[in-house]
Amino acid sequence: MQGQNISDIIEAYLKQILNESTRVEIRRSEVAELFNCVPSQINYVINTRFTIQRGYLVQSKRGGGGYIRIEKVKLLDDRDMLDTLIGLVGHQISQRDTLAIVQKLYEDNAIERRDANLILAATSHQTLALNDRQLEAELRARILTSLLNHLRYERE
Amino acid sequence: MQGQNISDIIEAYLKQILNESTRVEIRRSEVAELFNCVPSQINYVINTRFTIQRGYLVQSKRGGGGYIRIEKVKLLDDRDMLDTLIGLVGHQISQRDTLAIVQKLYEDNAIERRDANLILAATSHQTLALNDRQLEAELRARILTSLLNHLRYERE
DNA sequence: TTAACTTTGACTAATATTGACTATTATTAT
DNA sequence: ATAATAATAGTCAATATTAGTCAAAGTTAA
Q: Quote the minimal CA–CA distance from A114 to chain B in Å.
A: 7
Determine the Cα–Cα distance for residues B107 and B113; give it in Å rounded to an integer.
Answer: 9
Mutation site for B-interface testing, chosen from A127, A140, A147 by largest number of B Cβ within 10 Å:
A127
Give which of B36, B75, B35 is closest to B54, Cα–Cα: B75
- Measured CA B60 to C1' C11 distance, in angstroms: 41
DSSP state of B75: G
Determine the Cα–Cα distance for residues B9 and B7; give it in Å rounded to an integer.
Answer: 5
The structural architecture, per CATH, of the domain A6-72 is 2-Layer Sandwich (3.30)
The pLDDT, as a whole number, for residue B87 is 86
Residue B143 contacts A, CB cutoff 8 Å: yes
The pLDDT, as a whole number, for residue A110 is 85
The pLDDT, as a whole number, for residue B154 is 55
Contacts of A126 in chain B (CB under 8 A): 146
Residue B105 contacts A, CB cutoff 8 Å: no
Outline which parts of chain A fall under CATH 1.10.1200.150.
Answer: 75-154
Mutation site for B-interface testing, chosen from A118, A128, A135, A139 by largest number of B Cβ within 10 Å:
A118
Residue A38 contacts B, CB cutoff 8 Å: no
Give the CA diameter of chain B: 51
Which residue is closest to B135 within chain A, CA to CA? A130
The pLDDT, as a whole number, for residue B58 is 96
Residues with Cβ < 8 Å from B137, sequence gap 6 or more? B92, B93, B94
Outline which parts of chain A fall under CATH 3.30.56.130.
Answer: 6-72
Residues of chain A with pLDDT under 70: 1-3, 155-156
The pLDDT, as a whole number, for residue B156 is 39
Strand partners, A67: A61
Mean pLDDT taken over chain A: 91
Are B107 and B55 within 8 A, CB to CB? yes
* Helical residues (DSSP H) of A21-109, grouped into ranges: 28-34, 40-49, 79-89, 95-107
Question: How do residues A58-99 score in pLDDT, each as one tens digit?
Answer: 999 999 999 999 999 988 877 788 888 888 898 899 999 999
The structural architecture, per CATH, of the domain A75-154 is Orthogonal Bundle (1.10)
The pLDDT, as a whole number, for residue B123 is 92
* Cβ of residue B59 lies below 7 Å from strand D: no
Annotate A57-73 with b (16+ C-beta within 10 A) or e (fewer).
beeeeeeeeeebebbbb
Contacts of A118 in chain B (CB under 8 A): 115, 118-119, 147, 150
Residue B91 contacts A, CB cutoff 8 Å: no
Give the residue nearest to nucleotide C26 (CA to C1').
B64
Determine the Cα–Cα distance for residues A70 and A58; give it in Å rounded to an integer.
Answer: 5
Return per-residue pLDDT of chain B as tens, 156 residues. Answer: 555 899 999 999 999 999 999 999 999 999 999 999 999 999 999 999 999 889 899 999 999 999 999 999 886 665 567 777 888 898 899 999 999 999 988 988 888 888 899 899 999 998 898 878 888 999 999 999 988 887 766 543
The pLDDT, as a whole number, for residue B37 is 98
The pLDDT, as a whole number, for residue B147 is 85
Residue A149 CA, chain-centre distance (Å), reads 6
Which nucleotide in the DNA or RNA is closest to residue B4, CA to C1'? C16
Contacts of B154 in chain A (CB under 8 A): 114, 117
Count the neighbouring beta carbons within 10 Å of the beta carbon of residue B106: 17
User: In whole angstroms, how large is the CA radius of gyration of chain A?
Assistant: 19
Give the SS3 label for residue A82: helix
